[in-house]
Amino acid sequence: MGSTQSQVLEHLQDRNLDVIRRILQSPEADIDLAKAKLTIDHMIDPSVDVDGTLAQLDAMASGLKSFLPTGAPRRLTMDALRYHMYKASPWNGNRPFTYDLDDPFGANVRNKLLATYLATRKGNCMSMPLLFIILGQKLGVDVTAAEAPNHVFVKYRDDEGKFFNLETTSGAGFTRDEWMRQQFPMTDEAIASGIYMRPLTRKETVAVMVGTLLEFYDQQRMHDQRIALAKVAAQYSPKDVSLILHQHQAYFSKWKRDFTSKYPTPNDIPMDKRPLFMEYEGRMSALYQQAYALGWRPRDQAAEDSYRQRVNRAKSLQQP
């Protein structure tokens, strides 16, 4: 990469950080989740048409209102949104939104973009709940994001103030807390600390959206930018353990790049470079301990394997 191109890229990254900081500094009520999501998506893919997609979302919400009686209660509105999103209907052009069984974990970052989901009608646990929340809020439904380990879902609050879980990767069906904890194992400490299973504020939801940009930075090996952005987002969402882990993983990547890939043992590291080596190790240790103290635990491989098996079974049922 030439020096000029590198300078342009660094300028764009600094601008991204400033834009996201301004969004997070806004008053809670002023944050437009649709605009925030599309603004962040545009940082990943400059072809994303922010204004055009915002207009499309407004049209989708207006179109759904035409199916509802005047003054429809929230529950009826929420049920209508569930039906028309996940069942073939005139509203969706007989193209319902479905779970992407070919990329269920969103390994391809662009599959987490809202514009991709709107175009393909195939989503994941990032794009699916966020679209449901964006449309639901436009329709006056009390819905917010919530997190489980490596997963985002929807919290719906009824007129009596009671919260219910909606799993948008499965038709936005109601799911009990016990079921969520079976599917996404989490500790009691994690529930108590608030890193999982609670409704998120708008600022915290923007921090969840930032996670996709952090994944993009990781794939581009932009480790310093990943650390800087995760730190900024964590100021406004301190209970988002994924932001802590993004910093840990970025330092780990720098540690491998600068040291373990070059020197067979720590004793081979030149004396003048050892302070940086120790700094990386210290930061990784502190971040890991911070996440662990909040109740986070490393991925449960058995649970992940079980999830993959369920995905494979679902794919097999779709085969002609």
- Long-range contacts at 112-118 (CB < 8 A, ≥ 24 apart): 112/212, 112/215, 113/41, 113/44, 113/45, 113/48, 113/212, 114/34, 114/37, 114/38, 114/41, 114/53, 115/38, 115/41, 115/45, 115/48, 115/49, 115/53, 118/53, 118/56
Contact between 159 and 170 under an 8 Å Cβ cutoff? The reply is no
- Percent of the chain residues topping a pLDDT of 70: 94
Query: What mean pLDDT value characterizes the chain?
Result: 93
Out of 7-11, 21-25, 291-295, which region has the weakest mean confidence (pLDDT)?
A: 7-11
Confidence of residue 290 (pLDDT cuts 50, 70, 90): very high
Rounded CA gap, 102 and 314, in Å? 11
pLDDT category of residue 319 using cuts at 50, 70 and 90: low
What is the reported pLDDT for 8?
A: 60
Average pLDDT, integer, range 75-84: 97
Supply the pLDDT for residue 310.
74
Cα dist from 90 to 56, 114, 271, whole Å = 16, 21, 69
In the chain, % of residues over pLDDT 90: 88
Distance between CA atoms of 190 and 241, rounded to whole angstroms? 10
Q: What's the average model confidence in pLDDT over 50-59?
A: 98
Q: What is the pLDDT of residues 163-209, one digit of tens each?
A: 999 999 999 999 999 999 999 999 999 999 999 999 999 999 999 99
* Res. 105: pLDDT tops 80: yes
Q: What is the pLDDT of residue 138?
A: 97
Bridge partners of 153, per DSSP, are 146
For the cut 90, the answer to whether the pLDDT of residue 6 exceeds it is: no
Q: How far is CA 56 from the centre of its chain?
A: 21
Q: What pTM, to 2 d.p., does this model score?
A: 0.93
Q: CA torsion angle for 251, 253, 258, 259 (degrees, to 10)? A: 90
Identify the pLDDT of residue 13. Answer: 74
pLDDT in tens, 202-232: 999 999 999 999 999 999 999 999 999 999 9
Task: Assign 48 a pLDDT band (cuts: 50, 70, 90).
Answer: very high
Tens of pLDDT, residue by residue over 221-268, are 999 999 999 999 999 999 999 999 999 999 999 999 999 999 999 999
| Three-class SS of the chain | CCHHHHHHHHHHHHHHHHHHHHHHHCCHHHCCHHHHHHHHHHHHCCCCCHHHHHHHHHHHHHHHHCCCCCCCCHHHHHHHHHHHHHCCCCCCCCCCCEECCCCCCCCCHHHHCHHHHHHHCEECCCHHHHHHHHHHHHCCCCEEEEEECCEEEEEEECCCCCEEEEEHHHCCEEECHHHHHHHCCCCHHHHHHCCCCCCCCHHHHHHHHHHHHHHHHHHCCCHHHHHHHHHHHHHHCCCCHHHHHHHHHHHHHHHHHHHHCCCCCHHHCCHHHHHHHHHHHHHHHHHHHHHHHCCCCCCCHHHHHHHHHHHHHHHHHHCC
Mean of pLDDT values over 58-62: 98
Question: Tokens for 141?
Answer: 């439904």
Q: Give the whole-angstrom CA distance, residue 21 versus residue 232.
A: 7
Q: Decide if pLDDT at 35 tops 80.
A: yes
CA end-to-end distance (rounded Å), the chain: 47
pLDDT at 78 over 70: yes
Mean pLDDT of 275-299: 97
User: Can you tell me the mean pLDDT for 139-144?
Assistant: 97
Q: What is the pLDDT of residue 250?
A: 98
Mean pLDDT of 156-161: 95
